Amino acid sequence: MSIAIRVCRLPHGEGLALPAYATAGAAGMDLLAAVAEPVTIEPGKRALIPTGLAIALPPGYELQIRPRSGLALRHGIVLPNSPGTIDEDYRGELQVIVLNAGDAPFTVERGTRIAQAVLAPVVRARWHAVASLDDTARGTGGFGSTGA
């Protein structure tokens, strides 16, 4: 199954490929950096990296922005708000907050595969206030209560 996503390539995104799945079984599409000049991120610092894309998601979907495992393992590059959520009614540029949790500077070049995007359905919650909740074996046990 595939879902159509309308996309506008912004002027600084011209010449870059649209997000694509690297393999037939991939869940995420690579997002490319649409930087005009290289951006060096020092250890412990963040940068906002543009993609040069604006999208219109169909109703009932979100686009989750997630880190790329290879960048995390090799360079310590993570997304501090992972997964980031692009709502169906957002029409601005897709941008990625990148944190260098590594021990060396990392340079983002034009076209760097900086993150991945996963299309996901959204289920809306409806809150129902009650006086009490049913008991479970776990009860009110919180952080670490299951031994992990």
Domains by residue range for the chain, with CATH? 27-121 (2.70.40.10)
pLDDT at 64: 98
Which is nearest to 111 in space by CA: 42, 48, 29, 50? 50
CA angle in degrees (0–180, nearest 5) for 142-121-28: 90
pLDDT at 105: 98
pLDDT in tens, the chain (148 residues): 899 999 999 999 999 999 999 999 999 999 999 999 999 999 999 999 999 999 999 999 999 999 999 999 999 999 999 999 999 999 999 999 999 999 999 999 999 999 999 999 999 999 999 999 999 988 888 877 666 6
pLDDT at 148: 61
Q: Could you give the C-alpha distances from 147 to 65, 138, 139, 140, 143, in angstroms and in order?
A: 31, 12, 14, 14, 9
pLDDT at 128: 97
Spatial separation of the C-alpha atoms in residues 72 and 116, rounded to whole Å: 12
pTM of the model: 0.89
pLDDT at 122: 97
Decide: helix, strand or coil at residue 10: coil
